[in-house]
Amino acid sequence: MLLLYVLWNVVLPIFLVAGMGALLHRTVRLDPQPLSRAVFYVFSPALAFTGLYTLHMDQKGLFKAIALAGMIALFMLAAGLLIARLGHYSRVHTSATLLTLLNSNTGNYGLPLNQFAFGPTGLQFAILFFVMNALLANSVGVYIASTGRADPLQALKNVLKTPLVYATLLALLANWQGWNVPAPVYKALHLSGQAAVPVLLVILGIQLSRLGGKIHWRDVLPVTGLKLIVGPILAWFLSGYLGMSGTFRAVAIVQSSMPTAVMSTVLSTEFDCEPEYVAEVVFVTTAVSVVTLTVLLSLLIG
């Protein structure tokens, strides 16, 4: 019964909104680019700022979150390199595999999932992991997608161009120093941030509806297993080892168990890093996650 409750009340609403996005794309050819830019420049930074500004967490808790995200990212990259070596992958295919393992859908999918499952507190913690994943995607992810040809300095410049970075730094500084943001400014940011989650889900539906073609299961299955099975198990033990507990630990585990982000297809297309293969991984991991995340949330909630 708990599985059905989680599926009905937590997972299904996400895919219903995403389905609306897919339907809009197929009927009125809704262009995701203007929506993506609004999220990138306004809604996500506003959500990150308000979420982190009001987050009640000491520095020790923040360092635990960073440590968990870092260890899982390193494990995934090491596992990806091992798979590539055993499978005799080409350089480009190796980069594409590493990209799919590094970049998780902690935004479009993770934020609403944790909000539905754990309430406003869960959303605040989820924002923290979303920000860390976004920073990784815009730095290490860019370098990986460029198959080793990118200038590390250029990757750093890309990070510095991301509004989310500045929103994160300002929010953490304001939080730690106890600054009072003027009420009109905070209300404007809060209102803008509330638009992020539904718009992200619409974008997710549009982008998933554009994916298709044959699935190369031999290459997709190892990545799917790592992301959706090994990832949760690793996060479960590491979060306990780091002393996490309660909602904080539950959100950390869920955000570490997300499927590959659609953003990976954007990066792979930009740097010609096997975008078709990356799109296959995004589609399969997202579809399978309906089962894996339902089971995981049932364990965490129960």
Q: In the chain, what are the domains? A: 2-301 (1.20.1530)
Asked if 163 and 40 count as a contact pair (C-beta separation under 8 A), the reply is yes
Per-residue pLDDT of the chain (302 residues; tens, 9 = 90+): 677 877 788 888 888 988 898 898 889 988 887 888 888 889 989 988 998 888 877 778 889 999 999 999 999 999 999 999 999 999 889 989 999 999 999 988 998 999 989 999 999 899 889 888 887 877 777 777 765 555 656 666 666 777 888 898 899 899 888 899 999 999 999 999 999 888 888 887 887 787 766 788 899 999 999 999 999 999 999 999 999 999 999 999 999 999 998 778 777 776 778 888 888 898 899 989 999 999 999 999 87
Q: What is the pLDDT of residue 155?
A: 60
Cα–Cα distance for residue pair 4/2, rounded to 1 Å: 5
160-183 CB burial, b ≥16 within 10 A, e <16: eebebbebbebbbebbeeeeebee
Cα pseudo-dihedral 112, 114, 115, 116, rounded to 10: 90
Residue with tokens 């010609």: 272
Phi then psi for 170, rounded to 5 degrees? -65, -40
pLDDT at 149: 54
Q: What is the DSSP string of 1-35?
A: -HHHHHIIIIIHHHHHHHHHHHHHHHHH---HHHH
Distance (Å, rounded) from C-alpha 201 to C-alpha 109?
7
Q: Report the C-alpha gap between 279 and 213 in whole angstroms.
A: 9
